[in-house]
Chains A and B, each alone.
Chain A
Amino acid sequence: MAVQKLPIAKAINESLRTALENDPKVLIMGEDVGKLGGVFRVTDGLQKDFGEERVIDTPLAESGIVGTAIGLALRGYRPVVEIQFDGFVFPAYDQIVTQLAKMHARALGKIKMPVVIRIPYGGGIGAVEHHSESPETLFAHVAGLKVVSPSNSADAYWMMQQAIQSDDPVIFFEPKRRYWDKGEVDKEAIPGPLHKATVAREGTDLTLAAYGPMVKVCLEAAAAAEEEGKSLEVVDLRSMSPVDFDSVQASVEKTRRLVVVHEAPVFLGTGAEIAARITERCFYHLEAPVLRVGGYHAPYPPARLEEEYLPGLDRVLDAVDRSLAY
């Protein structure tokens, strides 16, 4: 049966399983990924079936995890490493930014860095500090890295396949609060390119652009707006580096309005880049300035305030109204 209904976490699990089956060079590494199957059970059962040589419980050392993954990649392996939570990637940030990202260029293109770094990210699960952050911009800003985030099960399955097959390092942000959302996965489908945005819902009055956990919020906003007679298009960016500006442009040329939504702080975020580019490309099409909805220039707040901090339906619709008021 090709089409199955799977939660996002399970879709990633099956994608990793497929990759382990198809390519003996694929390795899974990280803290607690083996016996426990990861704290979110994304790697559940993989060590049991593929053994400790391929699904590796690592020491509690993020710099070590990424640094050794680089070495394994140099030796011809394709490591897929897990960073347990967004806020714990920073001990490895040095290895990712100073080494992983630049290796291909420094070797005159002679070596490849097929390393995937999986990071469950974002808020909305009531966690303590360092477990709810959205640091994607910090990676998208670094040349040499590719940065993606699926928003649904089918993308989770296929984008993981593509990330593993990529010869470039891919930072794979998993929307942790959507891990349990189910969606259809067709394992025999022919997926679109990894870095291409998709139109998640068609509309004519305004474009909402989002990725990862915020796509669902935008779809809900579009459904709510429909009841008020507004037709919103939702573009799922899927990739933050590179960004598929062409798809966003095509949508904006149709709707003439754009609101970009992400959990990460607005200041210097992905939305800022998209606003600048789209303004440049679509200046004469735009009926309103590109607006952004996202996090504040504040540390991620304690759990009891996160619903106020995170963009929700109201904040998105408020921005929609502001845009339409121009």
Chain B
Amino acid sequence: MRPPRPRPRTPAALAAATPGPAHTFEFDGRVIPALPGQSIAAALWAQGILAWRTTRVGGRPRGAFCGIGACYDCLATVNGHPNQRTCLLPAEPGDSVTTQEGHGRAELAV
């Protein structure tokens, strides 16, 4: 008899997670699925997207670096508010996330 095929190793399988159906949000016009409870940064990683900001001086791409709210590299404009740390923000259905360019001060985040 053939041995049972091993379950694929995935983060969800490891934690035996059975999340509800994904909802979606928009990232630069793309529809991105997100599992309930995932941060915006996590949902973007799940799609293989690693960058959602360009730097002020060199215009270089950046995304999540520290994952815990300390480095501010994961900033994006979320629902019109620039400078949001996407590693801390839960993705919510219908959120609109756009790549933050430069200082992100276009709409004055005071």
A and B are partners in one complex rather than unrelated chains = no
Give the B-binding residues of A (Cβ under 8 A).
Answer: none
